Amino acid sequence: MMEEAGAYEELRAGFTAAVSHELRTPLARLLSLLESAVLPGVDRDALLAQAREQVEEMSELVDDVLFLSELESGRHVVALSPTRVLPVLEDVKSRLADSAERADVTILIEATPEVELPLRRRMLQVVVENLVQNAIRYAGPGSLLTLSARPGTLEASDDGRGVEVDELTRLFERFYRSDRARASRGSGLGLAIVKHVVGSAGGNVQASGGPGQGLRVICSFPAP
């Protein structure tokens, strides 16, 4: 019991430190922007727009941290009943269409109407949203993201920039972002949330790819 308590405290302290570290960067940028806004001759509208982006980034991080915390505490029921995948894929594609267009990322869906996966609709939506947002942020202009589903498997595959091979195993770590990805907005929790949701439903997640070879993420679920 003492060992478990010690391990939990170490995990909690590490997680708190990571959150604090991730919040410092947008907070520092926000402070700098606000200080610049009082200087004469500056474009205040542009600075305020950038400040708003930093506030949105912090809000997104807080939302992701709270959601992951609720997942780990068991407050969110992940696997409850099977959900048809195609309507969820279509819904997420529609809602993120503007973001995908701005990033010049095309989304293609490959799934038949009868395919189901053992997740509540809300949890399946969370997984798909994070997979799509990851590609929108990091795949690069001109990329094609293919979302495919078949019994027991959900796959997101893009033909974009890709990542270094030695980074593939770290993509699902909390707050991990490759050097290339650090220039983009994002909490660094999206794929960690995907892994946790899929794992809580008894499944597993794997990533493959390489520099210039895109990124392929496969979520596999146990047979019913």
Verify that 100 and 204 share a domain, yes or no. Answer: yes
Pair 101, 189 in one domain: yes
pLDDT score for 79: 59
Domain end marker among 49, 73, 97: 73
Residue 42, token pair as written in the block: 């500056």
Q: Taking Cα atoms as reference points, which of 28, 76, 41, 22 lies closest to residue 185?
A: 22
Residue 78 is assigned to a structural domain of this protein: no
Same domain assignment for residues 170 and 189: yes
Answer whether 174's CB lies under 8 Å from 196's CB: no
Question: Which of these three, 73, 92, 117, is where a domain ends?
Answer: 73
Number of domains composing the chain? 2
- Region 30-49: mean pLDDT is 84
Place of tokens 């994070």: 130
Same domain as 110, residue 160: yes
- Residue 57 inside a domain? The answer is yes
Last residue of a domain, one of 73, 98, 126: 73
Residue 187 belongs to a domain:
yes
For residue 214, pLDDT beyond 50: yes
**pLDDT, position 10:** 47
Do both 47 and 20 map to the same domain?
Answer: yes
The CATH number of residue 21's host domain is 1.10.287.130
Tell me which residue range forms the domain holding 113.
Answer: 83-220
Token pair for 107: 């989304």
- Which 8-state DSSP code applies to residue 76? S
Question: Does one domain contain both 9 and 106?
Answer: no
Cβ contact 30:51 at 8 Å: yes
Which residues contact residue 179 at a Cβ distance below 8 angstroms, ignoring those fewer than 6 apart?
none
pLDDT in tens, 175-200: 555 544 444 454 467 788 888 888 88
Same domain, 12 and 87: no
In this structure, the answer to whether residues 122 and 36 fall within a common structural domain is no
Domain of 127, CATH number, reads 3.30.565.10
Distance CA 37, CA 20 (A): 26
Q: Which of 31-35, 82-86, 150-154, 157-161 has the lowest mean pLDDT?
A: 31-35
**130 and 96 in a common domain:** yes
Q: Are residues 68 and 154 in the same domain?
A: no
Give 165's contacts (C-beta < 8 A, 6+ positions apart): 210, 211
* pLDDT band at residue 16 using 50, 70 and 90 as cut-offs: low
Considering only the C-alpha atoms of the chain, give the largest distance between any 2 of them, rounded to a whole number of Å: 66
Q: Indicate whether 140 belongs to any domain.
A: yes
Within a domain: residue 109? Answer: yes
Chain centroid, CA 69 distance in Å? 15
By the 10 Å C-beta count (0-12 exposed, 13-18 middle, 19+ buried), 60 is classed as: middle
Average pLDDT of 82-105?
94
**Rounded distance, CA 174 to CA 108, Å?**
28
